[in-house]
A and B are shown apart, each in its own frame.
Chain A
Amino acid sequence: MTPKNETEISEAIVSAEGPLRIVGGGTRPIGKPIVGEALSTAGLSGISLYEPGALTLVAQAGTPLNQIEAALDAENQRLAFEPMDHRALLGTSGDSTIGGVVAANVSGPRRIALGACRDFMLGVRFVDGAGQVIKNGGRVMKNVTGYDLVKLMSGSFGTLGVLTEVSLKVLPKPETTATLCIQDQSVAQAVAAMSAALGSPFEITGAAHVTDERKTLLRIEGFAKSIAYRTEQLQNLLKGFGAVDVVTDQNPWPDIANVTGFAGVTDDIWRISVRPSAAPAVVAALPAASRTMLDWGGGLIWATAPQGTDLRANLAAYKGHATLIRGTADVPTFHPEPAPLAAITAGLRAKFDPRGILNSGMMS
């Protein structure tokens, strides 16, 4: 089904006789395949409002991400949370939609400094499992009027409702970007260097470690003079970790954001969220065959694992969570929650989707 507007989405949900599988651009088939009739948001497309001077953009959920990025680019602005493009990693094609980005709370390297997708979300409209059209938040940057369902809907993977419209805070593009690189580092050295940089006043907006290449990457953004100044300061701050070179040949951040280093591998792909300082121990606890890449200063670990491995068994000693992004392991996609939290989650689903028809089983 491809409803043309919010009302038709509501009607489709009300009249659904079985489970529905909500489809945006279809570029992020994370986890187990969902059973159900496809309900596409492609019919809800277009930017409804864009005020560059207010840093605000409102779009229909099915609007292709590239259309939004083009509109922002024309005003020299951007989605600062740097949504990851999953296509290379997951071997998918098609155009990602803004609704899909929000539903999966998709963020990139800049999340360590500026926040995740959910931090840039100002408002939502959605249709719940009973077909009710609900709005929350709005289009202004500061809003504490009532409960924040905007955050709750971000990253709910369509299990609480079908997003129909999202309102986002956008930011100006920086004048200049620079990447600094430290070579030949262990994971422990990398995390220490990244922590030192992120704990400085020099506003790092990317901190990643490509384990295979033993290299650590740091990004700074801003006005040209400021970049020159901060480059020098960081080179001085980090000199104990080795030579800090300025990367000039290419922009490495799309490959970091999109984890293209793991594209095409046949192993399972896991995404692990831990406190950054735990990263060296977590990496050491993974199977010997695992490859890793660290983002968010070590707080986000991308790991491969031999097919069918339950990586969570290796991580029991660490606080955080692991998501099976692509794979064959017969385990839940999302990290099982402790009983009291699982009860709340189940309670919320029962309220918003009483028949359990929206992306049923997606997050359980």
Chain B
Amino acid sequence: MQMPIPNADVISRKSQIVARLREVLPANAVIDDVAETRAYECDGLSAYRCPPLCAVLPASTEEVAAVLKICHDMDVPVVPRGSGTSLAGGAMPTADSVILGVAKLNDVLETDYNDRIIRVQTGRTNLSVTGAVEEDGFFYAPDPSSQLACAIAGNIAMNSGGAHCLKYGVTTNNLLGVTMVMLDGTILEIGGAHLDAGGLDLLGVICGSEGQLGVVTEATLRILHKPEGARPVLMGFDSSEVAGACVSDIIKAGVLPVAIEFMDRPCIEVCEAFAKAGYPMCEALLIVEVEGSDAEIDEQLAKIMTIAKTHNPVELREAKTADEAGRIWLGRKSAFGAMGQVNDYMCLDGTIPVSALPEVLRRIQELSKEFGLDVGNVFHAGDGNMHPLILYNANETGQLELCEAMGAEILKVCVEVGGCLTGEHGVGIEKRDLMLVQFDPVDLDAQMAIKDVFDPKWLLNPAKVFPLASSESRRAA
């Protein structure tokens, strides 16, 4: 993975930069010891590592503003970091950058059930947002699978999704307001507890901007009352085409499940060996979950099962109890872990139109043969967000590069059929150099023009999202 050559001038000024940062932060909030900075050398894309110049852990919006102002004035790149769970390298440092971690910003600032909002500092983890309101029956809907660890700051930066976004939407649909600090230290208040922020939709463009426009320190999030219950049905099919047709028919029938998850045979086999969830051995498996009262769930599942039967499923299993529901989810929820036990893997994240599912699965199989690497598919079928898992051996020279090359080919297929490179993980460094597969230069210029306005010096997370050649003139300016 190519990264820009670190700015030697910045590196040579390390002691002055650290000294300035120590003027505005407590001593223990500035980490410049080389061994200690290693804790920040990578994120969830752990194949790529680089210790930062230093790391800072501010404890307030004002401290974040003071840090950014210093970096602005001293021309030091800043890489914001939530919990460091990005699978795309969004929080990966460069040797000339200050890591700005928001981990100390983890308070709940306000909870209001009448307005159905919670305001939190953004270092708080996704799951602990729900944790703050669940005793009162509420929850925060976006549920990325890293939700135990990932921070709201990172969720906003990447516009994170989750398994339940078919019904509840992704982060951008559940974000009402932010406090954001720009690189020059300006503190912006956008939106709040009211439903639309007014003016241009800056909230919409900040969400998903991968930490390149500012550092979001506080967020007002929409919370919802928990449904009375939820139950899944499991169905197995002879082919992925039939499974895809079944998904389409369910959606067309007017049932809106909260989740529709898909697994193919390689994935079923590995998960079954690992979790022993009692999955049928077949070509394609769907888990469809609906919500409501018991009677409402029964009614919806009956409709779904009627549709499924028209597609001659090899297995159709309705969860009648919480225990049965748990068993249906067991294999799916352990899919990534199960794959990891068997092999090293790379998880892709392209989205495709649901109608293109059979074609894309077929072409992934062809690529699998061509590259000689196995692929398992597990993904959110309702919204077309695929997660092909390419298996490889990290200890064998050249395998990572082969795996990345194959991943790139799969993502090109996703774009070719009308989809996109990334549905919920973000571009980061991982998909940066594929951006011109999906966009024309003029499209990327329009996006980069937005960064020009928020961060004219291009110091915030500058080596991400855009191909280095595309952003070079701006980064050098």
Question: Measuring CB to CB, which residues of chain A are less than 8 angstroms from any residue of chain B?
Answer: 51-56, 75-76, 105, 111-112, 115-116, 118-119, 128, 132-136, 138-152, 154-156, 159-160, 171-175, 191-192, 195, 198-201, 222-223, 225-226, 229, 273-277, 296, 299-300, 319-321, 323, 334-335, 337-338, 340-341, 344-345, 347-348, 351-352, 363
Separation of A296 and B222 alpha carbons in the complex (Å): 14
Taking a contact as CB atoms closer than 8 A, the residue among B194, B419, B424 that contacts A320 in the complex is B194
**A116:B205 contact, CB within 8 angstroms:** no
> Which residues of chain A come closer than 8 Å to B226, judged between CB atoms?
201
Given contacts A172-B252, A300-B195, are A226 and B296 in contact (CB under 8 A)?
Answer: yes
CB-defined contacts of B451 to chain A, threshold 8 Å: 147
Smallest distance from the beta carbon of B103 to chain A beta carbons, Å?
23
User: A319 touching B194 by the CB < 8 A rule?
Assistant: yes
Q: How far is the CA of A323 from the CA of B198 in the complex (A)?
A: 9
In the complex, what's the smallest C-beta–C-beta distance from B341 to chain A, in angstroms?
28
Contact assessment for B423 and A321 in the assembled complex, using a CB-CB cutoff below 8 Å: no
Q: Is the CB of B353 within 8 A of A148?
A: no
Chain B nearest Cβ from A22, distance in angstroms: 16
CA distance A134 to B420 in the complex (A): 16
Nearest-CB residue, chain A, relative to B383: A141
A174 x B453 contact (CB < 8 A): no
Task: From A76, A229, A273, A323, give the contact of B194 (CB < 8 A).
Answer: A273
Segment from B92-100, B108-116, B369-377 that makes contact with A: B108-116
Nearest 4 CB-CB pairings of A with B:
A151-B204, A53-B248, A321-B198, A142-B423
B380 is an interface residue with CB less than 8 A from chain A: yes
CB neighbours of B227 from chain A (8 A): 201
CB distance from B318 to the nearest CB of A (A): 17
Q: A142-B161, A142-B380, A142-B383 are in contact. Are A173 and B254 (CB under 8 A)?
A: yes
Please tell me if the beta carbons of B199 and A152 are within 8 angstroms of each other in the complex: no
Bound CA–CA A226/B293 (angstroms): 8
Which B residue's beta carbon lies closest to that of A349? B200
Which chain B residue shows the least CB distance to A233?
Answer: B293
Q: Could you tell me if A352 and B449 are in contact, using CB atoms closer than 8 angstroms?
A: yes
User: Could you tell me if B208 and A225 are in contact, using CB atoms closer than 8 angstroms?
Assistant: no
Given A146-B447, A277-B112, the answer on whether A138 and B209 have CB atoms closer than 8 Å is no
Of A134, A150, A277, A334, which is within 8 A of B115 by CB? A277
Shortest CB–CB separation between residue A273 and chain B, in angstroms? 5
Decide: B454 and A351 in contact? CB cutoff 8 A: no
Q: Which of B433-477 contact A (CB under 8 A)?
A: 435, 438-440, 442-444, 446-447, 449-454, 465
Asked whether B351 lies within 8 Å of A143 as measured between CB atoms, the reply is yes
Q: Which residues of A contact B166 (CB under 8 A)?
A: 141
Residue of B whose beta carbon sits closest to that of A55: B251
Report chain B residues within 8 Å CB of A226: 292-293, 295-296, 299
| CB 8 Å contact bits of B405-446 with A (1 = contact, 0 = none) | 000000000000011111111110001000100111011101
**A150: which B residues are within 8 A, CB to CB?**
204
Q: List 19 A-B contacts (CB under 8 A).
A: A138-B438, A141-B351, A145-B435, A147-B450, A148-B205, A149-B205, A160-B200, A174-B254, A199-B138, A226-B293, A337-B199, A340-B182, A341-B188, A344-B202, A345-B202, A348-B450, A348-B453, A351-B449, A352-B446
B296 near A128 with CB under 8 A, answer no
Nearest chain B CB to A349 CB, angstrom units: 8
Whether a CB of chain A sits under 8 angstroms from the CB of B186 is: yes
**Nearest Cβ in chain B — how far from A202, in angstroms?**
8
* A145-B420, A145-B421, A154-B204 known; A275+B159 contact, CB < 8 A: no
With contacts A143-B423, A201-B226 taken as known, whether A276 is within 8 angstroms of B114 at the C-beta atoms is yes
The answer to whether B251 and A53 have CB atoms under 8 Å apart is yes
Closest Cβ–Cβ distance, residue B429 to chain A (whole Å): 14
Q: Name B199-234 residues within 8 Å CB distance of A.
A: 199-205, 207-209, 225-228
Docked complex Cα distance between A319 and B419 (Å): 39
| Contact B446 A148, beta carbon cutoff 8 Å | no
- Specify which chain A residues have a CB less than 8 angstroms from the CB of B353 in the assembled complex: 51, 54, 56, 139-140
Minimum Cβ distance to chain A for residue B52 (Å): 24
